[in-house]
Chains A and B, each alone.
Chain A
């Protein structure tokens, strides 16, 4: 595998995001919702801490519990909605325009194509996360937050969003229709998000399995500033499986 080929494809698709309206709309929407959410959480936190100072009642507010956890927890939900728009065109568009023939008759491996596509969308997620770095900057400028939970929240969010990306890339390779790809991505991501809701109602073994499968279940440690290797392994395997299945789908084009 040649990293140069991966980068050639990743760079082309990353640039395509910015030469079409997609990147601007997704980033603007993301900033708007996140900004509003951060502002709301911040003012709510301010009110709580003022009450605490005046009356010495309630729990002592902490920046981690009061701001970082809710803000980055909600960010995961936003990504659930936005990632389908990021990934839906990656392969579906190539199939529709027949440009996939250029990729498949060029001296590049399927693995390089799949990784290139993944990295292009991963970079867009990085840009979106980069924009939100203003929040910790504001917190550090005005208060004294813990660095650990912030770093792990970013890592967890990045891994979780990458799982959505791998689902999205898989569905994009399965159809020529972007709307179909996007809808299936959203539905499947949501399913893996909510899958542990059924855990309470099922037997002990099933409950453990369903809890393990849940995408959001593995995020909670990150939100508290903990990195558990089992969570990291779960996310990485999830991403790997999605990309592997995409590779199989591309390979199957040759046999049709």
Chain B
């Protein structure tokens, strides 16, 4: 449904998007994950035909984004970062305008608008002025606008920003429900957002794809050994060295009284030994805990630790 190959976009000398290649199949929900400024919005703007790429190509529903922008735009529903709503319009009139802009036939306008209102549960505010609605409602109006012409592909830029927790859950459910029938790409810089709604994640950082997989595989693939943290009263170098020498320990990093101990994956239970050594060296154990490797950390690792490979890539 969406094919992107070697997409690159330069803003002056800076590449906002650098050689992106990915594919999204019909009915899939794909999450675009990356820190702020990673190039998510730029990629989405290119896909919607809002701006052209510097090089590379993108095809949507079989149409090339650059060669036939009108056909592409007809097949897309787009929710930009800021919901594009007119404060002086009523919700219903606004949705009708959006539907007409997307050439929904006149006899189907009413049902299209009603359908979008129901899906986003905006029925109660249909006659209110958008300017008088809260940020969360405006976001939903923006989403309704993207849905109103029943597009094959939905491109949602940070769809749950500014919503309260209850609304976030509602919108996530709504997006999940769209899969199958619609193809959805959504972007986010918040990980739980993506894990809650998407089947597949594309992690991008500094304009490049750093990982692309299902959530489960991403977790197992990147998971390194277990990490423990040990806080001691007396972190003297001989003690630290002794812990480092325990077989199975990968690294020990020291930050003041806190030692972060990374265990090689596949090592058996080793906690006893660590504490024993610390006690023997009279380090004065204050705290010992296991740190879970969460997806959040994987995300951080992907987007920050892999910087060296990116910098070599940039100089080429």
Contacts and interface: CB of A to CB of B under 8 A. Distances in A.
Interface stretch (B47-55, B120-128, B198-206, B229-237): B47-55
A105 B89 contact: no
Contact of B89 (A8, A19, A101, A107): A19
Contacts of B97: 8, 12
A180 interface: no
A99 B79 CA distance: 11
B82 A102 contact: no
B225 to A, nearest CB: 46
Interface in B87-114: 87-89, 93, 97-98, 100-103
B107 to A, nearest CB: 14
Contact of B84 (A8, A15, A97, A256): A97
B52 A254 contact: yes
A77 interface: no
B84 A107 contact: no
B78 interface: yes
Contacts of B274: none
Contacts of A109: 70
A32 interface: no
Given A5-B101, A8-B101, A12-B97, A105 B88 contact: no
B51 to A, nearest CB: 5
Nearest to B77: A105
B76 A105 contact: yes
A255 B88 contact: no
Nearest to A8: B100
A79 B87 CA distance: 28
Interface string A10-40: 0010011001100000000000000000000
Nearest to A20: B88
Interface in A87-127: 97-109
A97 B74 contact: no
B88 A19 contact: yes
A55 B50 CA distance: 74
B100 A105 contact: no
A9 B101 CA distance: 8
B315 to A, nearest CB: 27
B22 interface: no
B85 A105 contact: no
Main secondary structure of the interface of B (DSSP, over half): loop
B102 A106 contact: yes
Contacts of A98: 80-82, 84
Contacts of B100: 8
Contact of A105 (B49, B71, B81): B49
Contact of A107 (B74, B81, B85): B74
Contacts of B71: 107
B51 A105 contact: no
Contacts of A103: 101
Contacts of A99: 84-86
A254 B51 contact: yes
Contacts of B81: 98
A254 B73 CA distance: 15
Contacts of B86: 16, 97, 99
B14 to A, nearest CB: 13
A104 B89 CA distance: 19
Contacts of A254: 50-52
B303 interface: no
B84 A101 contact: yes
A105 B81 CA distance: 13
Interface string A237-256: 00000000000000001111
A97 B52 contact: no
B145 interface: yes
Given A8-B97, A16-B89, A106 B73 contact: yes
Interface centre among A9, A104, A107, A108 (most CB of B within 10 A): A107
A107 B73 CA distance: 5
Interface string B62-74: 0000000011011
B50 A101 contact: yes
A253 B45 CA distance: 12
B89 A102 contact: no
Interface of B: 48-52, 70-71, 73-74, 76, 78, 80-82, 84-89, 93, 97-98, 100-103, 145
The list of the 7 closest CB pairs from A to B, nearest first, reads A102-B84, A106-B101, A107-B73, A98-B82, A107-B74, A99-B84, A8-B100
18 contacts: A8-B100, A9-B101, A97-B82, A97-B86, A98-B81, A99-B85, A101-B78, A101-B84, A102-B80, A102-B84, A102-B145, A103-B101, A105-B50, A106-B102, A107-B71, A107-B103, A108-B101, A254-B50
